[in-house]
């Protein structure tokens, strides 16, 4: 498969977990993602806010989601044939009996997909599916009961993709900020 404007097939890409020392590349890709035209719908962070964070933030964030970390997260990236990072997804583990970032109780051990991004010039050739295959396999391997994600109702491209790969609406709406009338929708994928 080839993406528009690219002659690379998915076989030339590598999907893998990040390594702690790769924090500069993780930071760089996040900053690119935050400049995407739908970033305001897809991420709860702004480019300016991310730029203001110290390197120690990026080091800790990457280490906590890296291969071999004991933390409850894993970040996966797609590396292009030239070594450039062209996409990323992170799975956070939410334990039963805790509360999530929005203050909702977590009723069972679950994965929470965040930070989904593929560079526009690499979209449409199956890389997002490869990222999700790797991320979901990791989640199932560590015995989560389901995986969820939160998506803005106006993010049509993301909604279509999530539905296509099996995520279904749970009926839960999550306010974007405390007291906000604007909310996002939770989609879930139950353990196979």
Kindly report, residue by residue over 36-87, the tens digit of the pLDDT: 999 988 998 999 999 999 999 999 999 999 998 887 999 999 999 999 999 9
* pLDDT given for residue 65 in this prediction: 97
CB neighbours of 56 closer than 8 A, spacing ≥ 6? none
Confidence at 8, pLDDT banded by 50, 70, 90? very low
Q: What is the model's pTM?
A: 0.90
Q: Angle between the 23-33 and 55-64 helix axes, to the nearest 10 degrees? A: 100
* pLDDT given for residue 44 in this prediction: 87
Please check the confidence at residue 5 and state whether its pLDDT lies above 60. no
Confidence at 141, pLDDT banded by 50, 70, 90? very high
Please check the confidence at residue 125 and state whether its pLDDT lies above 70. yes
Dihedral angle over CA of 117, 144, 187, 62, nearest 10: -20
* pLDDT given for residue 4 in this prediction: 37
Please check the confidence at residue 161 and state whether its pLDDT lies above 70. yes
The DSSP bridge pattern shows strands 168-175 and 14-17 to be unpaired
CA distance 25 to 85: 7
* pLDDT given for residue 33 in this prediction: 97
* pLDDT given for residue 178 in this prediction: 62
- Tell me the two tokens of residue 152: 């803005």
* pLDDT given for residue 144 in this prediction: 96
* Torsional sign, CA 112, 115, 120, 121: negative
CA distance 79 to 190: 28
Per-residue pLDDT reduced to its tens digit, 85-96: 999 999 999 999
* pLDDT given for residue 9 in this prediction: 65
- Over range 151-180, report the average pLDDT: 88
E strands, the chain, are: 14-17, 73-79, 85-94, 110-118, 146-152, 168-175, 183-190
Confidence at 180, pLDDT banded by 50, 70, 90? low
* pLDDT given for residue 57 in this prediction: 98
């Amino acid at each position: 498969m080839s993406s528009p404007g690219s002659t690379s097939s998915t076989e030339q890409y590598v999907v893998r977990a990040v390594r702690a020392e790769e924090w500069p590349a993780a930071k760089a890709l996040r900053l690119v993602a935050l400049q995407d035209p739908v970033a305001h719908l897809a991420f709860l962070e702004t480019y300016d806010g991310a730029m203001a964070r110290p390197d120690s933030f990026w080091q800790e964030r990457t280490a906590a989601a890296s291969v071999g970390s004991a933390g409850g997260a894993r970040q996966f990236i797609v590396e292009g044939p030239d070594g450039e990072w062209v996409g990323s997804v992170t799975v956070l583990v939410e334990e039963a009996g805790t509360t999530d970032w929005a203050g909702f109780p977590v009723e069972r051990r679950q994965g929470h997909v965040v930070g989904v991004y593929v560079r526009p010039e690499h979209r449409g050739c199956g890389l997002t599916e490869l990222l999700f295959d790797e991320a979901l396999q990791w989640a199932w391997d560590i015995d989560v009961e389901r995986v969820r994600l939160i998506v803005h109702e106006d993010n049509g491209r993301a909604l279509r993709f999530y539905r296509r790969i099996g995520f279904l609406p749970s009926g839960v709406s999550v306010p974007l900020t405390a007291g906000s009338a604007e909310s996002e929708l939770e989609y879930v994928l139950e353990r196979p």
